[in-house]
């Protein structure tokens, strides 16, 4: 086998690595045909890779054998304090013909990242490529998040007896605001331990008062015994900042939020709300529905696969401590 040459990623590598990226996406679509076909084209892949390369403070590594590229990794920081001193390898930020080479690529790229003080590392990896996922696991990464998709076809899920789901109205604003706070509260508990910044109930009420009539969002509530116990929101996937580039299918709806009050969990309200969003996406003419969840959130990681969502990308995470 020819010797593998490793070096920092430069602009001169963009075109050759775009071909690798397009090939990766072509293989990915064999497993997940609902992903966008346009990134199978090297020109479209080049545009995405160039955007990633031109992100402020982006850096990475590339591997060549016999004069041709066999892999690359490219990451950039996000300026949000939520993620700590970070680096993100997004959906367009990696490809290889040999998963083992990804370990060498990360070793070279991470040297600079850690030298710069960026010790929280995130990688969005195609879920279908078990060998590539295992290569990242053997670098000390663990799975944090799942991105998933399903066709926009009406769900066969039956709403449990005693539950009903309807579109939200202004009269629901107090409960919608409360449910906005329930999700981060739940995420902060064991075993997820990932609560982010949480606003006040007054702030949530004000936001709902201003936005409930926004036609870009479809808000549903679940009721039991005439009382609202949960809510869910659907919208076009373009409104999500988490599903970008190769991870953004064409003409997709998005199950962007769902929460159920603690006392009402476990009776099927979450799945009933998810079904309502899926059926709304069908009526709205979307081709597919996308969602995502923390894999340590026991509720969502069980509810959404039961509605037919299958993984497209896995967000992996490593936190380096000295």
Question: Same domain, yes or no, for 304 and 215?
Answer: yes
Same domain, 264 and 173: yes
Residue 134: in which H helix or E strand, if any? helix 130-137
Residues 305 and 148: beta-carbon distance below 8 Å: yes
pLDDT, one tens digit per residue, over 59-112 is: 999 999 998 999 999 999 998 877 889 999 999 999 999 999 999 999 999 999
90 in Cβ contact with 244 (< 8 Å)? yes
Q: Is residue 146 in a domain?
A: no
pLDDT tens-digit map of 283-303: 999 999 999 999 999 999 999
The number of helices, as runs of H, and strands, as runs of E, in the chain is 8, 13
Residues 136 and 156 in one domain: no
Could you tell me if 291 and 157 lie in one domain?
A: yes
What confidence score (pLDDT) does residue 195 get?
62
Q: Above 90 in pLDDT, residue 186? A: no
Regarding whether 185 and 111 lie in a shared domain, the answer is: no
Do residue 70 and residue 187 come from a single domain?
no
Domain co-membership, 85 together with 34:
yes
Average pLDDT (184-198) is 84
- Between CA 275 and CA 124 the distance in angstroms is 27
Q: For the chain, what percentages of helix, strand and coil (3-state, to nearest 5) are there?
A: 40, 30, 30
The band of 1, judged by pLDDT with boundaries at 50, 70 and 90, is low
Is 155 found in the same domain as 65? Answer: no
- Structure-token match 């789901």, residue found: 165
Bridge partners (DSSP) of residue 59 are: 75
Of the three residues 140, 164, 197, the one that is the final residue of a domain is: 140
Tell whether 186 and 250 lie within a shared domain: yes
Pair (158, 307) in one structural domain: yes
* End position of a domain, from candidates 108, 140, 172: 140
Specify if 319 maps to a domain. Answer: no
Q: Residue 188: its pLDDT value, please? A: 86
Task: Tell me if 224 sits within 8 A of 162, measured CB to CB.
Answer: yes
46 belongs to a structural domain: yes
Range of the domain at 218: 151-311
Do the strands 120-126 and 252-260 form a parallel or antiparallel pair, or are they unpaired? unpaired
Q: Does residue 322 form part of some domain? A: no
Claim to verify: residue 134 and residue 157 sit in the same structural domain: no
316 belongs to a structural domain: no
The whole-model pTM stands at 0.94
Task: Write the CB contacts of 235 (distance below 8 Å, at least 6 apart in sequence).
Answer: 216, 217, 218, 253, 254, 256
What is the rounded distance in angstroms from the CA atom of residue 229 to the CA atom of residue 147?
A: 26
Burial 205-226 (b: 16+ CB within 10 A, else e): beebeeeeeeeebbbbbbbbee
DSSP assignment of 95-126: EESSHHHHHHHHHHHHHHHHHTT--EEEEEEE
Q: Are 102 and 73 in contact (CB under 8 A)?
A: yes
Q: What is the pLDDT of residue 321?
A: 87
The number of angstroms, rounded, from the C-alpha of 322 to the middle of its chain's C-alpha atoms is: 29
Domain shared by 156 and 299, yes or no: yes
In a domain, 111, yes or no: yes
Spatial distance between the Cα atoms of 22 and 38, rounded to a whole number of angstroms = 9
Q: Which residues contact 281 (CB under 8 A, 6 or more apart)?
A: 152, 234, 253, 289
Q: 76: domain CATH number?
A: 3.40.630.30
State how beta strands 142-151 and 94-96 pair. unpaired
The answer to whether residue 320 is domain-embedded is no
Which uninterrupted H or E stretch holds 227? strand 227-236
Query: Per-residue pLDDT for 197 more than 90?
Result: no
**Domain count for the chain:** 2
Residue 321 included in any domain: no
Sheet strands (E) in the chain:
4-8, 59-65, 68-75, 86-89, 94-96, 120-126, 142-151, 163-167, 217-224, 227-236, 252-260, 288-294, 310-319
What is the three-class DSSP state of 33?
coil
Cα distance between residue 257 and residue 273, in whole Å: 10
Mean pLDDT along residues 163-187: 94
Question: Among 110, 140, 170, where does a domain finish?
Answer: 140
pLDDT at 322: 75
Q: What are phi and psi of 54, to 5 degrees?
A: -85, 0
Examine the pLDDT at 35 and tell me if it is beyond 70. Answer: yes
């Amino acid at each position: 086998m020819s010797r593998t040459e490793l070096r920092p990623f430069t602009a001169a590598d963009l075109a050759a690595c775009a071909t690798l990226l397009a090939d990766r996406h072509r293989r990915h679509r064999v497993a997940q045909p609902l992903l966008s076909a346009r990134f199978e084209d090297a020109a479209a892949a080049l545009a995405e890779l160039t955007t990633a390369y031109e992100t402020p403070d982006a850096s990475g590594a590339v591997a060549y054998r016999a004069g041709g590229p066999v892999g690359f990794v490219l990451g950039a920081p996000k300026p949000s304090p939520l993620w700590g001193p970070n680096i993100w390898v997004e959906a367009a930020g990696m490809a290889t013909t040999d998963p083992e080479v990804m370990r060498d690529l990360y070793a070279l790229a991470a040297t600079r990242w850690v030298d710069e003080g960026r010790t929280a590392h995130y990688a969005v990896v195609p879920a279908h490529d078990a060998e590539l996922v295992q290569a990242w696991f053997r670098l000390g990464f663990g799975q944090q998040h799942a991105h998933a998709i399903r066709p926009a076809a009406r769900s066969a899920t039956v709403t449990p007896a005693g539950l009903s789901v309807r579109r939200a109205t202004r009269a629901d604003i107090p409960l919608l605001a409360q449910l906005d706070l329930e999700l981060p509260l739940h995420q902060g508990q064991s075993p997820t331990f990932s609560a982010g910044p949480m606003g006040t109930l007054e702030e949530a009420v004000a936001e709902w008062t201003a936005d409930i009539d926004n036609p870009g969002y479809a808000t549903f509530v679940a009721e039991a015994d005439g009382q609202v116990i949960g809510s869910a929101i659907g919208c076009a996937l373009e409104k999500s900042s988490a599903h970008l580039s190769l991870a953004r299918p064409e003409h997709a709806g998005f199950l962007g939020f769902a929460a159920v009050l603690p006392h009402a969990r476990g009776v099927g309200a979450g799945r009933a709300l998810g079904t309502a969003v899926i059926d709304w996406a069908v009526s709205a003419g979307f081709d597919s529905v996308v969602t995502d969840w923390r894999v340590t959130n026991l509720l969502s990681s069980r509810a959404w696969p039961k509605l037919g969502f299958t993984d497209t990308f896995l967000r992996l995470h490593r936190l380096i401590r000295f």
